[in-house]
Structure 1
Amino acid sequence: MRLAVLSDTHGNAAALEAVMRDLQNQSPDAIVFLGDMVMRGPQPRECIQMVKSLQPHAIIRGNYDDLFTRFPEPGWSPSSEKEELVLRAFEYDCQHISAEDQAWLGNLPTELSLLVDEVPTEMYHAGPDSLYKVVYPWATLEELDTLHRREETRLVLYGHVHHSHVRQGNGRLVVNCGSIGLPFDGDNRASYAIVDIQKQDMAAQIRRVSYDIEKAISIAKDLFMPDVEAFEYALRTARYPYGLKLSTS
Structure 2
Amino acid sequence: MRLAVISDTHGNATALEAVIHDLSDQSPDAIVCLGDIVMRGPQPSECIHMVKSLKPLAVIRGNYDDKFTRFPEPGWVPATYKQELVLRAYEYDCERIGKEDQAWLANLPVELSCEFEEVPTEMYHAGPNTLVNIVYPWATLDELDTLYKHENTKLVLYGHVHHAYVRQGKGRLHVNCGSIGLPFDGDNRASYAIVDFKKRDIAVQLRRITYDIESALAIAKARSMPDIEAFEYALRYARYPYDALKQLT
TM-score, normalised on structure 1? 0.98
Distance 1:247 1:134 in 2: 26
How big is the shift at 1:42? Answer: 0.1
Q: Distance in 1 between matches of 2:42 and 2:248?
A: 20
Residues 57-93 of structure 1: CA distance to partner in whole angstroms, max 9, x if unpaired?
0100000000000000011011111111100000000
Write out per-residue CA displacement over residues 127-171 of structure 1, whole angstroms, 9 at most, x where no aligned residue.
001000100000111111110000000110000000000001121
Shift of 1:232: 0.5
Bigger shift: residues 53-62 or 235-244: 235-244
- Superposed, which structure 2 residues align to 1:68-147 within 5 Å? 68-147=68-147
Query: Residue 179 of structure 1 aligns with which residue?
Result: 179
Q: Which amino acid aligns with 2:42?
A: P
Check the 8 A contact 1:188/1:238 in 2, yes or no.
yes
CA distance in 2, matches of 1:106, 1:246: 34
CA distance in 1, matches of 2:207, 2:140: 24
Relative distance call for 1:183 and 1:98 in structure 2 (3 A) is: same
For residues 44 and 100 of structure 1, the distance between their equivalents in structure 2, rounded to whole angstroms, comes to 14
Contact 1:45/1:97, CA 8 A, preserved across alignment: yes
Q: Is contact 1:229-1:246 (8 Å) kept? A: no
Amino acid at match of 2:17: E
CA distance in 2, matches of 1:246, 1:2: 44
Query: What letter is aligned with 2:58?
Result: A
- C-alpha separation between the residues in 2 aligned to 1:49 and 1:206? 24
**Aligned-partner SS, 2:32:** strand
State yes or no: 1:150 paired with 2:159: no
For the pair 1:59 / 2:71, whether they are aligned, the reply is: no
**2:246 counterpart of 1:245:** yes
Q: How many residues align?
A: 248
> Within the alignment, does 1:6 sit opposite 2:2 as a pair?
no
The percentage of aligned residue pairs carrying the same residue is 74
State the distance in 2 between where 1:169 and 1:246 align.
37
Q: TM-score, normalised by structure 2?
A: 0.98
* Cα distance in 2 between the residues matched to 1:206 and 1:5: 10
> Aligned residue for 2:227?
227
Structure 2 regions of 5+ residues with no counterpart?
Answer: none
Q: What do the CA deviations read for 1:204-237 (whole angstroms, capped 9, x no partner)?
A: 1100000000000000000000000100010000
Residue in structure 2 matched with residue 198 of structure 1 by the alignment = 198
1:208: which partner in 2? 208
Q: Is the 8 A contact 1:8 1:181 kept in 2?
A: yes
| In structure 1, distance between residues paired with 2:141 and 2:24 | 35
Q: Read off the aligned partner of 2:86 and give its amino acid letter.
A: V
What displacement does 1:245 show?
A: 3.1
In 2, distance between residues paired with 1:198 and 1:172?
Answer: 16
Letter of the 1:234 counterpart = A
Structure-2 separation of matches of 1:114 and 1:83: 36
